[in-house]
């Protein structure tokens, strides 16, 4: 019997992990503007980029608006990998926590280093909320420090858990198809199509949430 989580296995053999190569498929989705008149796909791509860029400018302060390119690229990479994983027989890289951690930890570390090196006093102020009684200061500092340290892991786990849960549901539903061709299979196809549309929306929302949280960490 095939394991329910076999679709998340990155190994094609004991020594080779070729399933991770599926992340390179997004390079074929990125449009190349060879023509003077852009196609509808390029227009849709440009509209998405400009919309995300505008949303980030409202989140970040003027001083950090130069980081919108990094955040927009992060959103597009995660979004394309999420959508690519919805294609049958394509490995879902975002269902492994190592994938979002490879983005969240370096970005979060760079934000923290910049904050503590350039704005040391404000960084210490963030560890002590306003109105904290003197007796609770040591505990609040420990709690705030711990909450800052687990931030990259939490947002990575959020993305991984949401993507994995959706794929497990789709696998369970796909394995429960009846063998006979009757009205039951039509109902199952309708449910599967509805779940696929729902997972597509989840893939978009989770990529946006990941990008928004990282931009909020930067703005702090």
DSSP string, the chain: ---TTGGG---SSSS--GGGGGGGGGGGTS----SSS--HHHHHHHHHHHHHHHHHHHHS-GGGGGGHHHHHHHHHHHHHHHHHTTSTT---GGGSTHHHHHHHHHHHHHHHHHHHHH-HHHHHHHTS-TT--GGGHHHHHHHHHHHHHTHHHHHHHHHHHHHHHHHHHHHHHHHT--SS-SHHHHHHHHHHHHHHHHHHHHHHHHHHHHHHHHHHHHH-
pLDDT at 1: 46
Is 166 contained in some domain? yes
Which has more confidence, 5 or 210? 210
Task: With respect to residue 1, please indicate whether it lies within any of the assigned structural domains.
Answer: no
Question: Residue 163: is its pLDDT beyond 80?
Answer: yes
19 within a domain of the structure (yes/no)? yes
Q: Which residue has the higher pLDDT, 144 or 30?
A: 144
The mean pLDDT of 186-194, rounded to a whole number, is: 82
Domain with 128, as residue range(s), is 6-219
What is the pLDDT at residue 180? 57
- The structural domain count of the chain equals 1
Question: Which residues have CB under 8 Å from 90's CB, separation 6+?
Answer: 22, 25, 84
Region 106-117: what's the mean pLDDT? 85
Portion of the chain with pLDDT greater than 70, in percent: 79
For position 164, what pLDDT does the model report?
Answer: 85
Question: Is 197 domain-assigned?
Answer: yes
**Confidence class for position 177, pLDDT limits 50, 70, 90:** low
The answer as to whether 161 is a domain residue is yes
The predicted structure's pLDDT at residue 201: 92
25 found inside a domain: yes
Task: Report the chain's mean pLDDT, rounded to a whole number.
Answer: 78
pLDDT tens string 6-58: 666 665 555 556 666 667 777 777 766 655 566 777 777 778 878 887 777 77
pLDDT of 147 strictly over 70: yes
Asked if 209 and 158 touch (Cβ cutoff 8 Å), the reply is yes
Q: Is residue 28 part of a domain?
A: yes
150: in domain: yes
Mean pLDDT value of segment 101-112? 88
């Amino acid at each position: 019997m095939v394991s329910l989580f076999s679709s998340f296995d990155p190994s094609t053999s004991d020594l080779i992990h070729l399933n991770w190569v599926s992340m390179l498929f997004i390079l074929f989705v990125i449009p190349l503007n060879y023509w003077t008149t852009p196609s509808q796909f390029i227009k849709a791509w440009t509209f998405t980029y400009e919309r995300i860029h505008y949303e980030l400018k409202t989140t970040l302060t003027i001083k950090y608006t130069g980081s919108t390119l990094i955040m927009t690229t992060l959103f597009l990479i995660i979004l394309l990998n999420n959508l690519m994983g919805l294609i049958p027989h394509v490995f879902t890289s975002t269902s492994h926590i190592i994938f979002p951690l490879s983005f969240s930890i370096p970005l979060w570390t760079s934000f923290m280093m910049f904050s503590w090196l350039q704005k040391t006093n404000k960084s210490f102020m963030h560890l002590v909320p306003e109105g904290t009684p003197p007796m609770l200061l040591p505990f609040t500092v420990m709690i705030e420090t711990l909450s800052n340290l687990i931030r990259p892991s939490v947002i990575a786990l959020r993305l991984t858990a949401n993507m994995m849960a959706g794929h497990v549901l789709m696998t369970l539903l796909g394995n429960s198809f009846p063998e006979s061709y009757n009205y039951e299979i039509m109902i199952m196809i309708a449910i599967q199509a509805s779940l696929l549309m729902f997972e597509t929306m989840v893939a978009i929302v989770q990529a946006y949430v990941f990008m928004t949280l990282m931009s909020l960490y930067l703005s702090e």
